[in-house]
Structure 1
Amino acid sequence: MNVHALIADAVRRRADEPAIEHAGRRLTYRAFDAACAAFGEWLEARGCRPGDRVLLFLRNGFDYPVLLMGTMRAGMVAVPVNAKLHPREVAWIAGDAGPRFVFTHAEHVDALAAALPPGNAIEVIAIENFDLPASATAPAAPATVAPDDPAWIFYTSGTTGKPKGATLTHRNLVAASVNCLADVFDFRQTDRVLHVAPLSHGSGLYLLPALARGAHNIVHDRAGFRPDEVFDTIAALGVTAIAFVAPTMIVRLLEAAPRDDIGSLRGVIYGGAAIHLEHVRAAVARFGPIFHQLYGQGEAPMTISYLPGRDHQGADDETLVSAGYVRSGVEVRIRDEDDRDVPDGAEGEICVRGDVVMAGYWRNPEATARALAGGWLHTGDLGRFDSGGRLRVLDRRHDTIISGGTNIYPKEIEDVLAAHPAVREVVAFGVPDAEWGESVAVAVVADDPALDEQALLAFCKDHLASFKKPKHVHILPDLPKNAYGKVLRRDLRERYGR
């Protein structure tokens, strides 16, 4: 089943209703399907064949959904990458993926072309100079593909080295979309879905189930995340759902002045990183139980566990710090360092199996063998099941601080310090310690310039066990982050571990 077939029913039922809107321009479902088909024909006319890759190095815009879905509709493989990456980083990904075409913005064309591997056959096209092909009156059917043919190569953020291309098949994307509709959020044809996050990432993945249900998708393309602009859009267009936000975006929404004209909003899907307890409680108090949490990763796209909005209302701490319930059609086991199942409630690595798990890493059999050992995706995350059967993600396996032989999870410390009224952002990490092996360090971004190390340590004394308290406090103007907004804990370890 070609993943584009997800929208076939919506094209029939909602032919003349809006599928995509951006900056006042719209495509109906009939026109969107025809535009995707025409783009596929354009690729075929230039020698692309099923399995060939098309790389999208683009900000959100009107053309993005057509290029994304049109590539997969034609049986070719979309390679969306974050628009915040440097052209040199994109050139490395292009060298690995080997696309026939790269679509990007005019300001990147020269730098990207210069950075590509010598002798490559990659054509770089500026989207500003590209006109969507004229839509055929009778679009051809989507290409016939095998369920396990690749559809989307999702490059990891590369926080531990060079990014790896998680190869997502048509089966993976269909399963993830159906899974979303079953568990996370019941997109409806009456929904107006706002895409504020990059379509190269979570918002693009949640475009699929929204289209499958015939929803009206509104693409937001402002530089940066400005809460007032988001609220203005919600109020002006009657937005009912935000397809995906990261926890940092929720914090930004909380910092903005309250509004009484955004009552149309009934759902916000969030994930991509851990959210601090203080922030999720404040968000529910301000906006109501409209938040739906997901836990997943590029290798199992957005699809391992979920905590629905109804479980956020009046929930205890154990519920809110969890990653929720295992998703439909997904198996999760907790395993020790010898890859053996641990007893119920015990801690170990989160391992996942199901149709949502990637086929492997693109052209990287060694990494694939490690990640999919025994037929299970080894996520690299440590976790356990809590007393309510919910999955609790403790931390990344390699981020755990081992001090005096005891495991300390950075998130425990971060949750405590995030509750301090003067702390905007915090990250905890381990540094070498001659006596204990490792000791705890924290880097903090403060709202109050008067905040100092002693005040933070006193706050920790009231909320943390003695062995978990930081020995080193660094107050910084900002935290190092990658293009996806994830804090580069590794950079902090290297900077302060010396």
Structure 2
Amino acid sequence: MNGQQHDPCALAVQAHAGGSIGEMIIHAIQRFPERVAFVEADRSIDYAALGRRIGQALAALRSLGLRRGDCVMQLSGNRSEVFAVMAAAYLMGLRSVTLHALGGYEDHAYIVGDAEPSVFLAEAAHRERALALRAACPGVAHWFAHDACADLADFWALALSLEPAPLRSEARPEDIIRLAYTGGTTGRPKGVMLANRSVWMQAVLLMAARGMRAGMRVLCPTPISHGAGAMIVPTLASGGRIILQRGFDPDRFIDALQAQRAHAAFLVPTMIYRLLDHPRCAGADFSSLELLSYGAAPMAPARIREALARFGPVLAQSYGQSECPSNILHLTPEDHRRTDIDVLASAGMPYPGVTVALFDAEDRPVADGAVGELCVRSPLVMDGYWKQPELTRQTLRGGWLHTGDLARRDANGYYHLVDRRKDMLISGGFNVYPREVEDVIAQHPAVAAVAVIGVPDERWGEAVKAVVVRHPGAQVEGEALRALVRQAKGAVCTPKTVDFVDALPLTPLGKPDKKQLRAHYWQGQARAIH
């Protein structure tokens, strides 16, 4: 101490500042150098080679002048190079932004302008989009491609020309190392600021609570630019392998699962439905599968039971949002096996380290069993919205993350998501929660998918409408589905009309796009609510 006095509280704060996502990555590379880290089509990369690639990315980014707090942005499908650049950003304390490859140009251009990246990397498949963005966003200093590409410099040619930098984490726990932009289905995308602390805890919780054992082979067809990317570090930290696919196709998924003897996968519900409905599903070998994790949207209880019957007791559900990434509530495989109570319609119980409360419109706790806004406290919670202090104050008011989701807690401690606050409709003066109506209709064996929305109505203000996709060859009439809801939920929740369609519109993340559905029925209206 050299005779100096030190505040014990300040020393304790320093002693508590441990743990970073970068250190998890470094330790995995050191612990498992000869194991395969990534498999991509006809190539694979081991942990040692992955470490060299991250070191090369570090050297390249530093040579371009990037420093802590700068931003690096990527537009690419699933490939290990994307993760290598993300890892380099985490180690340097940069802000990593990964655009969804299927996102629209206007959203992409807005995000580039908002996030202010110093470096933009695309892959050749997205060359035209990258060039259009470069023309529209002159403030970005450096434009690169992940591979040889006309009119864009090759990032890895630069990286390979440099000596790999040592793998060392320079990021502080409070550094914002990820800007996760929301999907933009309502208004402009918002940049969710995730600190090193949050990204690290997300990985730890996935390891601890999602049932990811050591050495798992994880099949990943969903975009690592978004939710699936959270599975990478937990898999590597336990010596596992990530099998990357570029988009979901049931045939390719089944082929890879069987060839690689994959143990785990993360899918959104619409993908699971496609898999269950595929002709090969009945005869495919799913015996290697130990964990099928699903999220991003609710899954109909009837289809959960169908999946359990086909895949076995391997399903795990996770509910979260970008503002508290991945991990708010979860249903474990054991929860899925419970027969003493019905839990399949629920979103589960809170993850360890996550505190949940339900508040009314005045931010007061609701009575047991009542519907309230689901609010969260946890080290996971975002630091706020990038460049939006007023929205940050509103969303984090009272020291709670206000999710905008309405839920109730049952007598057994399971939380049931009723709907998004913005999705609730008012019909004849009564609140109707579309999710509850969807769950009833989805129980009918002829229904493959359903979305419930409010449409303009002179008498009711908003009339309940169900938009339904039938299973191929199945038949059901609208009146039968209306009767099902009437019996289960009563007249107020019963759809006034049922439309049958070949497919529901989906967002780039595979969620039913209710904004697009509503637009069809609200054309010509002065406002989208009555």
Return the alpha-carbon distance in structure 1 between the equivalents of residues 187 and 41 of structure 2. Answer: 37
Compared with structure 1, are the counterparts of its residues 259 and 276 closer, same or farther at alpha carbon in structure 2 (3 Å cutoff)? Answer: same
What is the CA-CA distance between 1:403 and the residue it aligns to?
2.3
Return the alpha-carbon distance in structure 2 between the equivalents of residues 182 and 136 of structure 1. Answer: 38
Return the alpha-carbon distance in structure 1 between the equivalents of residues 445 and 464 of structure 2. Answer: 21
Return the alpha-carbon distance in structure 2 between the equivalents of residues 13 and 90 of structure 1. Answer: 38
> Which of 359, 362, 378 is the aligned partner of 1:338?
362
One-letter amino acid of the counterpart of residue 321, structure 1: A
Return the alpha-carbon distance in structure 2 between the equivalents of residues 112 and 478 of structure 1. Answer: 31
Whether contact under 8 Å (2:51, 2:167) holds in the other structure is: no
Return the alpha-carbon distance in structure 2 between the equivalents of residues 63 and 366 of structure 1. Answer: 36
Compared with structure 1, are the counterparts of its residues 180 and 288 closer, same or farther at alpha carbon in structure 2 (3 Å cutoff)? Answer: same
| Residue in structure 2 matched with residue 85 of structure 1 by the alignment | 103
Compared with structure 1, are the counterparts of its residues 315 and 246 closer, same or farther at alpha carbon in structure 2 (3 Å cutoff)? Answer: farther
Residue 492 of structure 2 is aligned to residue 479 of structure 1: no
Compared with structure 1, are the counterparts of its residues 311 and 12 closer, same or farther at alpha carbon in structure 2 (3 Å cutoff)? Answer: same
Return the alpha-carbon distance in structure 2 between the equivalents of residues 202 and 22 of structure 1. Answer: 19
Q: Secondary structure at the match of 2:463?
A: strand
- Which shows bigger deviation, 452-461 or 464-473? 452-461
| Residue in structure 2 matched with residue 182 of structure 1 by the alignment | 208
What percentage of aligned pairs have identical amino acids?
Answer: 36
Structure 2, gaps ≥5 residues long: 1-18, 149-153, 526-530
| Residue in structure 1 matched with residue 248 of structure 2 by the alignment | 225
Whether contact under 8 Å (2:55, 2:164) holds in the other structure is: no
* 1:39-63 per-position Cα deviation (integer Å, ceiling 9, x unaligned): 0110110111111111111111232
What is the CA-CA distance between 1:145 and the residue it aligns to?
1.8
| Residue in structure 2 matched with residue 299 of structure 1 by the alignment | 323
What is the CA-CA distance between 1:461 and the residue it aligns to?
4.0
Q: Secondary structure at the match of 1:320?
A: coil
> Which of 399, 417, 439 is the aligned partner of 1:415?
439
Return the alpha-carbon distance in structure 2 between the equivalents of residues 118 and 134 of structure 1. Answer: 28
Return the alpha-carbon distance in structure 2 between the equivalents of residues 57 and 138 of structure 1. Answer: 24
Whether contact under 8 Å (2:118, 2:142) holds in the other structure is: yes
Q: Secondary structure at the match of 2:510?
A: coil
Q: Highest CA radius of gyration, 1 or 2?
A: 2
Q: Secondary structure at the match of 1:128?
A: coil
Compared with structure 1, are the counterparts of its residues 110 and 492 closer, same or farther at alpha carbon in structure 2 (3 Å cutoff)? Answer: closer
One-letter amino acid of the counterpart of residue 177, structure 1: A
| Residue in structure 2 matched with residue 248 of structure 1 by the alignment | 270
Return the alpha-carbon distance in structure 2 between the equivalents of residues 113 and 164 of structure 1. Answer: 24
Residue 338 of structure 2 is aligned to residue 319 of structure 1: no
Residue 414 of structure 2 is aligned to residue 390 of structure 1: yes
One-letter amino acid of the counterpart of residue 199, structure 1: I
What is the CA-CA distance between 1:260 and the residue it aligns to?
4.9
What is the CA-CA distance between 1:156 and the residue it aligns to?
0.4
Return the alpha-carbon distance in structure 2 between the equivalents of residues 85 and 278 of structure 1. Answer: 31
Whether contact under 8 Å (1:333, 1:350) holds in the other structure is: yes
Whether contact under 8 Å (2:92, 2:171) holds in the other structure is: no
Compared with structure 1, are the counterparts of its residues 12 and 135 closer, same or farther at alpha carbon in structure 2 (3 Å cutoff)? Answer: farther
What is the CA-CA distance between 1:285 and the residue it aligns to?
1.1
Compared with structure 1, are the counterparts of its residues 111 and 308 closer, same or farther at alpha carbon in structure 2 (3 Å cutoff)? Answer: closer
Cα RMSD after superposing both structures? 2.1
Return the alpha-carbon distance in structure 1 between the equivalents of residues 392 and 175 of structure 2. Answer: 17
Return the alpha-carbon distance in structure 2 between the equivalents of residues 353 and 241 of structure 1. Answer: 29
* 1:211-237 per-position Cα deviation (integer Å, ceiling 9, x unaligned): 22121111112xx42222111111111
Residue 36 of structure 2 is aligned to residue 14 of structure 1: no
Q: Secondary structure at the match of 2:283?
A: coil
Q: Secondary structure at the match of 1:19?
A: strand
**How many residue pairs get matched?**
494
Whether contact under 8 Å (1:322, 1:391) holds in the other structure is: yes
Whether contact under 8 Å (2:75, 2:126) holds in the other structure is: no
- Which shows bigger deviation, 76-85 or 20-29? 20-29
* 1:331-384 per-position Cα deviation (integer Å, ceiling 9, x unaligned): 111000001112232210000111111111111112211111122110000012
Return the alpha-carbon distance in structure 2 between the equivalents of residues 356 and 135 of structure 1. Answer: 38
Return the alpha-carbon distance in structure 2 between the equivalents of residues 325 and 118 of structure 1. Answer: 44
One-letter amino acid of the counterpart of residue 127, structure 1: H
What is the CA-CA distance between 1:322 and the residue it aligns to?
0.9
Return the alpha-carbon distance in structure 1 between the equivalents of residues 305 and 39 of structure 2. Answer: 33
- Which shows bigger deviation, 230-239 or 20-29? 20-29
* 1:54-88 per-position Cα deviation (integer Å, ceiling 9, x unaligned): 11111112322212212222221210121111333
* 1:444-476 per-position Cα deviation (integer Å, ceiling 9, x unaligned): 223348654334334444544122110122222
Q: Secondary structure at the match of 1:312?
A: helix
Whether contact under 8 Å (1:40, 1:70) holds in the other structure is: yes
Q: Secondary structure at the match of 1:140?
A: coil
* 1:123-161 per-position Cα deviation (integer Å, ceiling 9, x unaligned): 332322236333988751324222111111111011111
Residue 225 of structure 2 is aligned to residue 200 of structure 1: yes
| Residue in structure 2 matched with residue 492 of structure 1 by the alignment | 517
| Residue in structure 1 matched with residue 7 of structure 2 by the alignment | none
One-letter amino acid of the counterpart of residue 416, structure 1: V
1:73-472 to 2 correspondence within 5 Å? 73-115=91-133, 117=136, 119-129=138-148, 130=154, 132=156, 133-134=159-160, 139-188=165-214, 190-221=215-246, 224-242=247-265, 244-256=266-278, 257-315=281-339, 318-447=342-471, 448=473, 451-472=476-497
Return the alpha-carbon distance in structure 2 between the equivalents of residues 184 and 107 of structure 1. Answer: 34
Return the alpha-carbon distance in structure 2 between the equivalents of residues 83 and 488 of structure 1. Answer: 17
Q: Secondary structure at the match of 2:147?
A: helix
Whether contact under 8 Å (2:300, 2:442) holds in the other structure is: yes
One-letter amino acid of the counterpart of residue 34, structure 2: D
TM-score of the pair, normalised by structure 2: 0.88
1:36-55 to 2 correspondence within 5 Å? 36-55=54-73
Return the alpha-carbon distance in structure 1 between the equivalents of residues 165 and 35 of structure 2. Answer: 18
Return the alpha-carbon distance in structure 2 between the equivalents of residues 387 and 287 of structure 1. Answer: 30
Compared with structure 1, are the counterparts of its residues 135 and 34 closer, same or farther at alpha carbon in structure 2 (3 Å cutoff)? Answer: farther
Compared with structure 1, are the counterparts of its residues 51 and 261 closer, same or farther at alpha carbon in structure 2 (3 Å cutoff)? Answer: same
Return the alpha-carbon distance in structure 1 between the equivalents of residues 160 and 193 of structure 2. Answer: 31
Compared with structure 1, are the counterparts of its residues 111 and 216 closer, same or farther at alpha carbon in structure 2 (3 Å cutoff)? Answer: closer
- Which shows bigger deviation, 478-487 or 205-214? 478-487
Return the alpha-carbon distance in structure 1 between the equivalents of residues 52 and 202 of structure 2. Answer: 25
Return the alpha-carbon distance in structure 2 between the equivalents of residues 260 and 473 of structure 1. Answer: 35
What is the CA-CA distance between 1:122 and the residue it aligns to?
4.1
Structure 1, gaps ≥5 residues long: none
Q: Which 4+ stretches in 1 moved above 6 angstroms?
A: 135-138
Whether contact under 8 Å (2:29, 2:48) holds in the other structure is: yes
Compared with structure 1, are the counterparts of its residues 64 and 315 closer, same or farther at alpha carbon in structure 2 (3 Å cutoff)? Answer: farther
Return the alpha-carbon distance in structure 2 between the equivalents of residues 113 and 302 of structure 1. Answer: 33
Return the alpha-carbon distance in structure 2 between the equivalents of residues 81 and 237 of structure 1. Answer: 29
TM-score of the pair, normalised by structure 1: 0.94
